[in-house]
């Protein structure tokens, strides 16, 4: 009986740790410490904004996911001209994973 309780407590602790760790830790943009504030222009969407920061398709998808999570919006949400959003920026100094913000 004691072994059963020890195993149960062990599995319960592992489960809590697993659930407490966000599943999106593989998204580098969600760990960014630097952000740009971007004003949405007419006819722009989140994918357009992400395209200004990276040209890599996989990175662009991760950046869209991060922008949405950081700004509490959905990728399908319509953003309005003049709306301000935070865009995570990584490796700006090295020029890696970030294109110019034109």
Domain architecture of the chain: domains with CATH = 27-89 (3.10.350.10)
Q: Find the radius of gyration of the CA atoms of the chain.
A: 19
Output the pLDDT for position 52: 93
Nearest to 97 by CA among 31, 53, 35: 53
Return the SS3 of 25.
Answer: coil
Q: Show Cβ contacts of residue 66 under 8 Å, excluding neighbours closer than 6 positions.
A: 27, 29, 30, 32, 88
Confidence (pTM)? 0.66
pLDDT digits (tens, 9 = 90+) for 9-61: 666 666 665 555 555 557 888 888 899 999 999 999 999 999 999 888 888 99
DSSP 3-state of 14? helix
Q: Residue 57 has which token pair?
A: 């398709």
């Amino acid at each position: 009986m004691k072994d059963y309780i020890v195993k149960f407590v062990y599995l319960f602790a592992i489960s809590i740790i697993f659930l407490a760790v966000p599943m999106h830790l593989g998204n580098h943009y969600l760990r960014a410490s630097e952000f740009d504030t971007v004003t949405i222009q007419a006819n722009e969407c989140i994918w357009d904004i992400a395209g200004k920061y990276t040209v890599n398709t996989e990175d662009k998808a991760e950046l869209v996911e991060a922008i949405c999570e950081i700004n509490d919006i959905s990728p399908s949400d319509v953003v309005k001209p003049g709306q301000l959003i935070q865009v995570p920026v990584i490796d700006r100094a090295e020029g890696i994973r970030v294109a110019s913000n034109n």
